[in-house]
Amino acid sequence: MLYVFKFPDIGEGITEGKILEWYVKKGQTVSEGDSVIKVETDKVVTDIPIPRDGVIKNLYGKEGEVINVEDALVEMEVEGEVAEEDRPGAVEKETDGKEASADEVAHADTETKPVEEKGYGVVGMIEDATGDAFLPSTGEGLEDKKAAEDAVKPRKKALATPVARKMAKDLGIDINEVKGTGPAGRVMKEDIQKAFDEKQSGPAVPRKGKAEEIKVAPGQEDLIETEELTQIRKTIINRMVQSKQTAPHATAFEEVEVSKLVALKKEKKAELAEKGIKLSYMPFIIKAVTLALKRHKTLNSKLDMANNRAIYQKFYNIGFATDTPDGLMVPVIRNTDRKSIIEIAEDLNDLAERARDRKLTLDELKGGTFSITNYGSIAGTYGVPVINYPEVAILGIGRIMKRPVVDDNDQIVPGHILPLSMSFDHRIVDGAHAANFIRDLMAMLSDPLTMLMM
Amino acid sequence: MAIEISEKYDLPDLKLYRSGSLSQSVIVWRPEKLMVVIGKGSDPSDELITDAISVDHVPVIRRDTGGCAVVLSADMAVVSFSLRNDPNKKNPEYFRLFNDLIIEALKKQSIRGLGFNGISDITLNGLKVAGSAIYRRRESVLYHVVLNLSGSTEQMERYLKIPSRQPDYRRNRSHKDFVTSFSDQGVEVDLVRFENDLKTSFLLNIK
């Protein structure tokens, strides 16, 4: 189908712009988001991205010409349907492309519109050995025989209703792992809900034999008090055991002089308090960690042992350990690379408060790529934090202490020392990875303005 | 009279232009000498008084960003920002964001009478004291603003024609009647403090 892309209103209230440069030519294949043209308006030179995939058929306007908003810029061949107003008939200029008929447009609509599957059409599971199935050559290195078998088995693509698929996607459930209860094993939305509810109760750690019973010595019943474990405590237990049993922990310790950070936070704290924003050291640390993670991808990775691969994540979701009346929780601030320090501060305060009130959603407690635990806000200098598995590292923040330090002139002056303790999964994070990460982190915490150069 | 235009832009913000930096960055710099800088698509005969430029041997450099021609001198300061492009943000929003940071940093020095005018100007007591422009790419945004600390408006009058397109508030005023400097308004800007406040503000506010 033909699609005509028009010069959009780029939001300055202007009606025209000058074509400075074309980046594409006739016959070129382009993808959504590719810059096609450089245009200058009164104050801005801007690249204009194309909103669709396709092949360029015609370009309108020469370099140096002035074009008006809504003028046709590019005519292209695209796959699928085309909106009525974008059909070439809507363009007055003559084109050498083939005009689509109304019938063709209608046909394309029929082809691309999702069609609800009928229950009686289901005939079982579809074998799908391609897709994202990853087939290791051997099972070597896999955690156990079952995992090895699972990894080499072709992925089964479940049959399901579109509603169930969407629900699974929204809830983060792998629909291919869900047992369907519909006709011929079709996955229904009730099945997704059940899988989600089961997932919510936390990952189960396989027990090796019966748990040891702690007996109370006769006559000491009055000297003890028992309390049934809460669900959150059971989850903490499972997660801690899983982490320590799976990831070989190593921990690095450092001290960084943060007088500039202390002064900056002090200066800004009062100013932001007037706007209702509580500023602590954590937003600065989270931002610095994010910038360091962008430079050191290993620290923002996951190990997928079932497929013998490392997964490097290009998004930055930072969890922060929070003490609540019910126990430890780790809410996650998402996309910290796309948030300002002030926005991180706002998220932090909001999540911490709702964690204490037990008002967090499940979504706000998962999806982290790296965690920070700030035990220094209570007390403590160093610690050996437990990695929030399957993440591969966690940073422990100790209490900032006033200490004598030697300055650049060899003079002893008062300084502020922030102790850092970082545990990392030594299977994937080498000592050098950790040291380089911490070096960059220290540079930013020592002089926060260097974050502007990272 | 014909003038020679250098296409080799080599001012201190070159690195930001060329790198298409995805990270946040801000630099504050002072031009070393008198020069005229014209926009990417500018026609010198439309914007410059070439005879005077030629007689005075003022170098003319073409930049990669848009906007009208400007006179730069050691009596001015330039601020250049780069950051990741947010495709959902419109250009006026970026101008507002950046100019507000500049104004906020200046206000910390108890400078009163600052305002945002036109598409991208900063005014002091109603007169233009800084002009800005944006270069927007798919991945990054580069913004720069020229602050007239104590630059001569007579030089602007001598080298620059009145632009054909003007913000409403200019009302066809000459450079001399439209532009001012901080110095002419009795204000001295502590540039070191300004840079520090600006960077701090940038650090806290920019994504």
Q: Measured between CB atoms, does A63 come within 8 Å of chain B? A: no
Q: How far apart are CA A300 and CA A368, in angstroms?
A: 10
CB pairs under 8 A between A and B: 100
Question: Phi then psi for A148, rounded to 5 degrees?
Answer: -65, -45
* Rounded Cα–Cα distance for residues A154 and A160 (Å): 18
- Name the residue facing B136 among A33, A42, A44 (closest C-beta): A44
Crossing angle of the two packed helices A282-295 and A341-356, in degrees rounded to 10: 120
Helix (H) or strand (E) holding A200: helix A189-200
pTM value? 0.66
The per-residue pLDDT for B162 is 87
User: Could A44 and B87 be called an inter-chain contact, meaning their C-beta atoms sit closer than 8 Å?
Assistant: no
Averaged over B135-151, what is the pLDDT? Answer: 90
Burial class (CB in 10 A: 0-12, 13-18, 19+), A253: middle
Can you say how many angstroms the Cα of residue A420 is from the centroid of all Cα atoms in its chain?
Answer: 25
Mapped onto helix, strand or coil, the DSSP state of residue B12 is coil
Query: How far from chain centre, in Å, is Cα B109?
Result: 20
Q: Residue A43, SS3?
A: coil
- Asked if A342 and B204 come within 8 Å (Cβ–Cβ), the reply is yes
DSSP helix/strand/coil, A391: coil
User: Are the beta carbons of A11 and B92 separated by less than 8 Å?
Assistant: yes
The pLDDT profile of chain A, 454 residues, written as one tens digit per residue, is 888 998 887 655 567 788 888 999 999 999 988 889 988 765 566 788 898 899 999 999 898 888 888 888 999 998 865 544 444 333 333 333 333 333 333 333 333 333 232 322 223 222 222 222 222 222 233 333 444 344 444 445 677 777 778 778 777 788 888 888 876 677 887 788 778 767 655 544 545 557 788 888 888 889 999 988 887 788 889 999 999 999 999 999 999 999 999 999 999 998 899 889 999 999 999 999 999 999 999 999 999 999 999 999 999 999 999 998 878 889 999 999 989 999 999 999 999 999 988 888 878 988 999 999 999 988 899 999 999 999 999 999 999 999 999 999 999 999 999 999 999 999 999 999 999 999 999 999 999 998 987 6
Instruction: Clarify whether A426 is annotated catalytic.
Output: yes
Residues of B in contact with A295 (CB under 8 A): none
Is B200 in contact with A264 (Cβ distance < 8 A)? yes
Q: Give the DSSP letter string of B57-103.
A: T--EEE-SS-S--EEE-TTEEEEEEEEE--TTS-HHHHHHHHHHHHH
- Condensed to tens digits (0 to 9), the pLDDT of residues A179-201 reads 888 766 778 877 887 787 676 55
Query: Which of A72-81, A370-379, B18-27, B123-132 comes out lowest in average pLDDT?
Result: B18-27
> Highest mean pLDDT range out of A210-219, A272-281, B37-46, B59-68?
A272-281
> B131 to chain A nearest CA, in Å?
10
B191 close to B206: Cβ distance less than 8 angstroms: no
Q: Which among A341, A340, A360 is positioned nearest to A350, based on CA atoms?
A: A360
Q: Residues of B numbered 75-94 whose beta carbons fall under 8 angstroms of chain A's beta carbons: which are they?
A: 84, 87, 90-93
Please tell me the predicted confidence (pLDDT) of residue A87: 42
Q: How far is CA A191 from CA A118, A174, A179, B54, in A?
A: 17, 12, 7, 80
Stated as kind and residue range, the H or E segment containing A5 is strand A2-6
Q: What is the pLDDT of residue A16?
A: 75
Task: Give the pLDDT confidence score for residue B59 in this predicted structure.
Answer: 94
Q: Please, are residues A423 and A389 in contact by the beta-carbon 8 Å criterion?
A: no
| Closest chain B residue to the Cα of A288, Cα to Cα | B203
